[in-house]
A and B are shown apart, each in its own frame.
Chain A
């Protein structure tokens, strides 16, 4: 059989037993796998014709070797038909919906037409066909009689998983007594004696009425003759008595198969079953395909013992029972034994398909572990579909710990030499690079810029080794391919899990480095959500030019500076960078020439601007002037910083304000965002790199540290805080007293107790706020914690309050801590103590230390946070999976519509106006400035020709973003 190269569609259907036999390479009849010499037995489960798994052997069927031989199916002829469990529900439906006699669908022609139309409509709408089938069966089941042949229909009882009964009325065994009693005019069976009025009848009369011989009647009455069904019916009508009892008539799989064989094709199509591909009788197996050995390889253990796959074990069971069944039947064993064996065979085939059927004990391995059979192989996260088919594994990937390196550009990644020598790039050798290629080969696989393999034009791959490298290098010429090591400037893909958004996978340029970790610029931590506490990341080396070009143009870090989530930059200065720029610009300090040059030494700036002021002989530059050196010419901005002052940038000069998180930070730093949108991503990348460099030099210039002393407050402040705490305690006591006296007025919709809790929480909440104010007053703006909080670098004033002032109320589920012992949180308190300290109010600060009880409450509240995070990650992960699955097929088209891959229009224009969320942030300030444009157009009348519009500020470098970063140095000259 030829394996197709390109799959255009996949058809699904049931398989005809004949097809099974045709595709089978051998019938499998022996349950044994190997003979005593360790050779596979012919027509056994390990028959070599089923495929090869041992390396080196040749497949007798296809002649291929292990690895390329796909394996070949065998088959087992089942001694008796068995039901395929997966279809047990459908079998039930078909039994209920079709006639037991003529197998036609129990629907009139009219009804059939109706359901056929409905099915047609459902398919057109793409809804679930099963619903129509269910409705049709429900309708058909209502019929007591077949509309075609008039046969009476019985109810079908389904005993899970694969037993079916017909609930029939049959003559009871007590019929002589019942008839006799009825002839006396008495009540019989369950009848109510009072309500029965039956005329007594003599045997003569009965014989007359029913047309049965009198002698027969007597025989019946004596119990020596069982009346035939027709006779029973006439006797019943003559006596108006019910002589039947319900009986469950078991339908054997063979009966069902015969029944289904007669269902006409037209009837099946009404039910949405495709008669060409899936005849219903094929849902009952007569032949069982035996999967090839490649699908159930056996493992040889260390001690030489073979361990068989779960499927093989199951197949052994099936063959054994099958064999026994046949032997017993041939020997003419009693029906009971045959039925038992049949059931056993059914069980084994059932568990071979699915070993997790409810109500059936799972087949187990000798060790007691349930076997993993066909369904279990497909299902779930590690199953064939999600685990193997959708989750592809790749070559040319590496994973190691990450560590920071501020000297790298944000576009770069430091790759350990060992990784670089393992990952290769294919070099097509031409006349122009043959020298270079030879050098790589000559270096061999072990020294760094070397090569691991070469490929000759005839397709032969040769491994480069230490020994043959010299020799091989000479042979390399145009037309060869050389798999050379990664070198500086190559593009690779870098990723950190969980990959929650597209910025979790970005392309970086390689910088080969010593040691064993991947090195990143710290500014790319936000998009990856990475830190360096042991995080690992993955790297993928790209293997063709198309992929490399796509990565360079679309995936490079600088192309991902703007997040599509909120349309602003997600890459920018973080933490110490922000503290650094804050120190540099907040109070606008001055620097002498040496200092200024030192600050700018890690940037491209190599000439200082005009000094801001001169004192005596020395020239001085201010921090803002130095920062302005990094800004592109022509940048104009005005916004409020997170410190609170107004930042003004005019023509690329920082005139006023503090540069902090709102200016250069990740997540919407105004300056980075604007540069990215108005200039180019390349310019934005350079800006971020340089801000980080300048900020690091600045923070090192000033020195920045935080220690425990930085959170200590003067005694009077401490006293002040204690006083507010005492006041709050008094207030709480007061509230409790009012509550206990029953005088507390409840808030609308709340109970009195809830009201009390709320008021206490309020009062205690206020304590922390006041403590925060007191703490804030006592720390100057030079306090490092304050600097970090104000600039937005890290931490908040709340953190500082908790460190220096008071930790405050601990809460579980938004309420004070109320759990623990009966009516109290801890045995340290009186029962029903409503006081602040008994329910988790922590009056100490972190600096002063918590008392044991406070520490306990703090841990309680902390635990809640941990649980919350654990639950949240799994929930949001599933949410994301569902969202992606539902939306993954949507794409904008050339006509601006959003359609799925079926070409159904979902939106006529994306987001109602067709603008991209990457380029437009959601907040209103970033709308197109129509007024500004209008003004500039109107003003332009008075100026010269050739007006510079906002849009034309875009840098010419924009078109060249796909060049390697190493080229930028030459390319962006004269930018400022």
Chain B
């Protein structure tokens, strides 16, 4: 940054946060301000406006944030609807999704991923499809028809040549593909297979009608290619985030974040999932926090409530991740881990908390809000937290 040391000194001297300082530098550069006095005036003026917008000390931001998220909850829809028309991935939306996020469920109702591709694969539809087949689970029904021959006690698979070519784009010979499929079946089911061109045949060791049907059942579950958890992938052409042309993006039904990140062609830095816990496991708690904010914001935005200030969501995400793991908001998480016995008893499962407290010989220090409401003391929040006050009479001295 080409700002003189003096100007830098002046700007750094203000109380501005990093983001605004950087912006001041860039504007100063742009406008070619060189005079120290001017720079000082600009910095002070920006600082004054910033200070003016700062939160007041002792502001009960927690309650305000909780209200700011809870209140629009009453305006959200209950049912999850899917877009008509375009082939879309069904995702839980609205209030149920918000509840799911705040609950920090281990797996979301509808897990999904947004897989971005690296330079090489993002531009080219063929290349992108290569990745699709590595991601989407390929099961036997997608490859061909399965029929049972009861007379000879055989399961017969007629593979569709076209689909094989499509799903194994890099393999030249059809023979190799069919052998590979047959090998997978042998490995998974422990049967001997016979294959010829696009036909595979196998049967149970001993002729048994039940075993035959059992084999067909098991055959259906075998994943020949891709990741088992991912049942569907939709590919879409989208504008790049940096506005630099278009790229192919994959949307998946089902999530396997860690496995997908390892696949060649996937841009791990931009790929995400809506499963917060998976993000936490793979990328850590900071990433999980970021994801909580993004997911809640997306949920609100989708419902036309995008005007909710993101700072409220940050606070919720921060308290959920405050202990280094993801905690839910409620009985099993933050509220249940509160130090105060009375606060816990007043929230849910009253009697158990009291009995446990008795056995452990716990002591309630009456620091929080609920406890003080219960014992009838002023709460230490907002104007109740101010200890300094002006003397009202002369005799106070």
Chain A contact residues, CB within 8 Å of chain B? 6-14, 86-87, 90, 125-130, 272-274, 276-278, 283, 354, 375, 378-380, 383, 385-386, 389-390, 392, 500-502, 550, 554, 564-568, 668, 747-750, 758, 761-762, 765, 813-814, 868, 871-873, 875-876, 879-880, 882-894, 896, 898, 900-902, 904, 906-907, 909-917, 919-923, 928, 930-931, 933-935, 937-938, 940-941, 949-951
> Which of B158-166, B190-198, B345-353 makes up part of the contact surface?
B345-353
Which residue on chain B has the smallest CB distance to residue A565?
B68
13 cross-chain CB contacts under 8 A: A6-B377, A10-B341, A274-B361, A390-B346, A392-B373, A392-B376, A884-B63, A890-B62, A890-B315, A898-B318, A911-B310, A913-B19, A922-B310
Q: Contacting B69 at CB < 8 Å: which of A128, A550, A883? A: A883
Q: Is the CB of A550 within 8 A of B383?
A: yes
- For residues 32 through 85 of chain B, which have their beta carbon under 8 Å from a beta carbon of chain A? 33, 38, 41-42, 45-46, 48-50, 52-74, 76-79, 81-82, 84-85
State whether B309 touches A566 (Cβ < 8 A).
yes
Report the minimal beta-carbon distance from A3 to chain B, rounded to whole angstroms: 12
- In the bound assembly, the distance between CA atoms of A98 and B70 in angstroms comes to 49
Quick one: which of A8, A276, A868, A900 contacts B79, CB cutoff 8 A?
Answer: A868
Closest to A890 in B: B62
Taken together as a complex, chains A and B put the C-alpha atoms of A955 and B339 apart, in Å, by: 46
Asked if residues A876 and B70 are in contact (CB atoms below 8 Å), the reply is yes
Assuming the contacts A10-B341, A385-B345, asked whether A894 and B71 have C-beta atoms less than 8 A apart, the reply is no
A390 to B348, CA, bound (A): 13
Q: Which single residue of chain B is at the shortest CB-CB distance from A765?
A: B84
Which residues of chain B come closer than 8 Å to A761, judged between CB atoms?
A: 84-85
- Chain B residue numbers with a CB within 8 Å of A930 are 20, 23-24, 27, 42, 46
Q: Quick check: which of B212-220, B278-286, B330-338 contacts chain A, the rest being far away?
A: B330-338
Interface contact A919-B53, CB-CB below 8 Å: yes
Instruction: Evaluate contact between A928 and B355: CB separation under 8 angstroms.
Output: no
Q: Which residues of B contact A749 (CB under 8 A)?
A: 87, 232, 234, 253
The answer to whether A12 and B57 have CB atoms under 8 Å apart is no
Report yes or no: A668 in contact with B307, Cβ–Cβ below 8 A: yes
B64 pairs with A12, CB closer than 8 A: no
With A11-B363, A276-B361, A390-B373 in contact, is A906–B319 under 8 Å at CB? yes
Known: A748-B87, A891-B61. A884 touches B366 (CB 8 A): no
B31–A938 contact, CB under 8 A? yes
User: Among B55, B76, B314, which residue has its beta carbon within 8 angstroms of that of A892?
Assistant: B55
Number of interface residues of B (CB under 8 A): 114
Question: Can you name 18 extra interface pairs (CB under 8 A) apart from A9-B364, A12-B362, A875-B99?
Answer: A86-B355, A385-B350, A567-B309, A879-B102, A880-B71, A882-B102, A882-B329, A886-B330, A889-B62, A890-B65, A893-B57, A913-B20, A914-B17, A914-B55, A917-B312, A922-B309, A930-B42, A934-B33
In the complex, B342 has a CB within 8 A of chain A: yes
Residues of B within 8 A of A915 (CB): 50, 53-55, 311
- Whether, in the assembled complex, B223 has its beta carbon less than 8 Å from a beta carbon of chain A, the answer is no
A11 to B41, CA, bound (A): 58
- In the complex, are the beta carbons of B54 and A914 less than 8 A apart? yes
The answer on a CB contact under 8 Å between A917 and B68 is yes
Chain A residues near B52: list those with CB within 8 A: 919, 951
10 residue pairs, one from A and one from B, having the closest CB atoms: A274-B361, A890-B62, A911-B311, A880-B70, A814-B81, A887-B62, A876-B73, A277-B361, A883-B66, A566-B307
B222 at the interface (CB under 8 A from A): no
Instruction: Tell me which of A128, A888, A922 has the highest count of chain B C-beta atoms within 10 A of its own C-beta.
Output: A888
- Cα-based distance from A913 to B309 in the complex (angstroms): 13
Determine the chain B residues whose CB is within 8 A of the CB of A917 once the complex forms. Answer: 64-65, 68, 309, 311-312
Q: Name the one of B77, B335, B364, B365 contacting A12, with C-beta atoms under 8 angstroms.
A: B364
Given contacts A11-B363, A565-B68, A884-B66, contact A916 B383 (CB under 8 A): no
Residue from A904, A912, A928, A941 within 8 A of B49 (CB atoms):
A928
Beta-carbon contact of A12 and B367 below 8 Å:
no
A273 surroundings in chain B (CB, below 8 A): 359-361
Inter-subunit contact B359/A887 (CB<8 Å): no
- CB-CB under 8 A for A888 and B361, given A872-B74, A876-B76, A916-B53: no
Contacts of A126 in B (CB 8 A): 337, 339
Instruction: Find chain B residues with CB under 8 A from A6 CB.
Output: 377
- Residues from chain B with a CB closer than 8 A to the CB of A10 are 341-342, 363-364, 366, 375
With a CB–CB cut-off of 8 A, which chain A residues contact B128?
Answer: none
The reply on B287 being an interface residue by CB < 8 A is no
Residue from the list B70, B71, B367, B385 in contact with A902, Cβ < 8 A: B367
A906 to B321: give the CA distance in the assembly, Å: 9
Contact, CB under 8 Å: B385 / A891: yes
**Assembly CA distance A10 to B95 (angstroms):** 39
Chain A residue contacts of B381, Cβ below 8 A: 888-889, 891, 901
Known: A272-B360, A762-B84, A880-B67. A888 touches B329 (CB 8 A): no
Question: In whole Å, how far is B146's beta carbon from the nearest beta carbon of chain A?
Answer: 19
Min CB–CB distance A928 → chain B (angstroms): 5
Tell me the nearest residue of chain B to A761, going by C-beta.
B84
**How near does chain B come to A402, taking the closest CB pair, in angstroms?**
20
CB distance from A235 to the nearest CB of B (A): 45
* Chain A residue contacts of B81, Cβ below 8 A: 813-814
Specify which of B19, B24, B314, B358 lies most central, judged by the most chain A CB atoms within 10 Å of its CB. B358
Q: Is the CB of B95 within 8 A of A876?
A: yes
Knowing A891-B382, A913-B17 touch, does A9 contact B361 (C-beta < 8 A)? no
Specify which of A13, A765, A928 is in contact with B20 (CB 8 Å cutoff). Answer: A928
Contact check: which of A86, A502, A913, A922 meets B351 at CB < 8 Å?
A86
Contacts of B358 in A (CB 8 A): 12-14, 277-278
